[in-house]
Amino acid sequence: MSFVKLTASALAIAAVSATAASARDQVQVAGSSTVLPYASIVAEAFGENFDFPTPVVESGGSSAGLKRFCEGVGESTIDVANASRKIKEKEIKKCAENGVTDIIEVRIGYDGIVFASDIKGQTFEFTPTDWYLALSDTVLVDGKMVPNAAKTWADVNPAFPAQDIQAFIPGTKHGTREVFEDKVILAGCEATGAFEHHLAAAEGDTAKKKKKAAEKACIALRTDGRSVDIDGDYTETLARIESNKDGIGVFGLAFYENNTDKLQVATMSGIVPSTESIATGEYPVSRPLFFYVKKAHIGVIPGLKEYAEFFVADEIAGSDGPLSEYGLVADPELEKTQEVVADEAIMGGNS
C-alpha cells in the first residue's frame, strides 16, 4: 500500500543520503566558547573573501573540543579544535592512540580575564591576595590553617566596603577557571604565605609531588555558597549579577567591553584591564588562546590551510585587525605563528 511505499522510499532516501555524506567541503571547528566569537569573525570573513564555504564553528568548551579533535582522523571528525588553554600531555597521548599524531599548534593572541560588578555598586581595587582570602577554603591565621570565616569584603581587606562576598566564577569545565586558579588564587596563596604552610604539610615522596599537593590545597575554594560556579556562559554570570547587586563576576575582556553599560570593572594590582595593559603584560590575569589543526586533514578538506593562514594574517589577528577590535590582545610574536602555519610545523618540532 501507499504507506508502505512511502516508508520504504523515505528509508531509501535516508540510506542514500548517508552514503553521499562522505564528501565534506567545509572546514569544521569546535571547542572553547571563549574562542568562538573570534573564530566566527574569522570564519565569516573567510567565507566572504574565499570561494570556500564559510567554516562551521561549534562551541562546547576547550576540553570537549579537544576530545572530539582526538577522536581520530577522517571526514567525520573535526579539523580544528579551539582552546583557551594549552593542550595537555594526556590529550596528546589520547590523540596519538586514535591516530591523530601530527598536530599544528597555533597561538592566536591573548585574552584578558576581568572582575566586574554592577555598574551602580561599589568600586573595587583588587589584588590576588584579596581574592584568595575571600574565596579560599582555609586561610592562614597565626600560623595555623583555619576555615575561612570572611563574610564581607571588609573582613578581607579593611579598605573595602562591608559588602557581602558573593563571587560568580567559571565552572571547572571552562579553561577560564584554570587561569583564575593559577593567576589569582595561587598567586594570593603564595603572597599570604599559606603556600609554604601547605608545602610543609604536604605529603609526597618527591619535591615535585609535594609542590603539586600544596598547589591543590591552595586552590580549594570554599563551598558555603559565597563562591558560585557558573557552568554556563558569561551571559549567565551577567544575569546573576543583575539579580544580585552584591555579586562580583569573572568575565572575558571582550564580554565586558560589550556590556559597559551594565558592568564596572575592578582593577587588579592597580592596573585597569585593557587590550593595551594586557599586551604589555602589566595586567596580570591573561592567558593565551590557541587553535589546533590536524595536519592529516590539510589537502583533504578544502580550505583548511587557507583558513588557518587567514586566521593569523596581519589584517585579521594583527593589532589593527577585527579580532583585536573585538577584544583579543594581539600576539607580539604573530610573525612566528604565521611561519608555523605556513610550514605546517607540527607540535614537538620534527615536521
Partner 1 sequence: MSDISQTPENGSSKHAGSLLTPNPRTIKRNNAEKRFQVYGIAAIAVGLLMLVVLVTTILGKGVGAYSQTFITLDVELLEKKLDKKGTRNIDDIKKVTTFGYSPLIKNAFKTKVAELGIETDLKLKKQAALLSKSAAGQLRNYVIANPDMIGETVTFRFLTNSRVDGYMKGRVSRDSIANDKSVSSEQLDLVDELVAKGTIKKTFNIDFILGADASDQRPEAAGMGVSMLGSLSMMFVVLGLALPIGVAASIYLEEFAPQNWLTDIIEVNISNLAAVPSIVFGILGLAVFINYMHLPTSAPLVGGLVLTLMTLPTIIISTRASLKSVPPSIRDAALGVGASKMQAVFHHVLPLAAPGILTGTIIGLAQALGETAPLLLIGMVGFIASNAPDSVASGLLDPNSAMPAQIYEWAKRADPAFYERAWGGIIILLVFLVTMNTVAVILRRRFERRW
- The answer to whether residue 48 forms part of the interface with partner 1 (CB under 8 A) is yes
Site for partner 1 in 17-36 (CB under 8 A): 17-18, 20-21, 24, 26, 28, 30, 33, 36
Q: Which of 210, 240, 322, 344 binds partner 1 (CB under 8 A)?
A: 322
Cα 134 to Cα 25, 156, 165, 224, 229: the distances in Å are 51, 6, 7, 12, 15
Q: Which of 81, 257, 290, 293 binds partner 1 (CB under 8 A)?
A: 257
Sole window of 164-172, 202-210, 260-268, 341-349 interacting with partner 1 (rule: CB under 8 A) = 260-268
Helices (H), 180-225: 186-192, 194-201, 207-218
Site for partner 1 in 204-233 (CB under 8 A): 232-233
Q: Which of 152, 163, 244, 264 binds partner 1 (CB under 8 A)?
A: 264
- Residues that contact partner 1, how many (by CB under 8 A): 55
Site for partner 1 in 135-154 (CB under 8 A): none
- The answer to whether residue 243 forms part of the interface with partner 1 (CB under 8 A) is no
- The answer to whether residue 54 forms part of the interface with partner 1 (CB under 8 A) is yes
Considering just the CA atoms, what is the radius of gyration of the chain in Å?
A: 23
* The dihedral sign for the CA sequence 37, 38, 39, 42: positive
Q: Which of 157, 163, 244, 259 binds partner 1 (CB under 8 A)?
A: 259
Q: Judge whether 228 and 167 are in contact, CB under 8 Å.
A: yes
User: Residue 100 has what DSSP assignment?
Assistant: -
Which residues fall within 8 angstroms of residue 143, CB to CB, at 6 or more apart?
Answer: 197
Angular region, 143: left φ>0, alpha ψ -120 to 50, beta rest: left
| 345, β-bridge pairs | none
Cα separation of 46 and 307, whole Å? Answer: 7
Residues that bind partner 1 (CB under 8 A): 1, 3-4, 6-7, 10-11, 13-14, 17-18, 20-21, 24, 26, 28, 30, 33, 36-37, 39-41, 43-45, 47-49, 51, 53-54, 56-60, 76, 78, 232-235, 254-255, 257-261, 264, 315, 322, 325-326
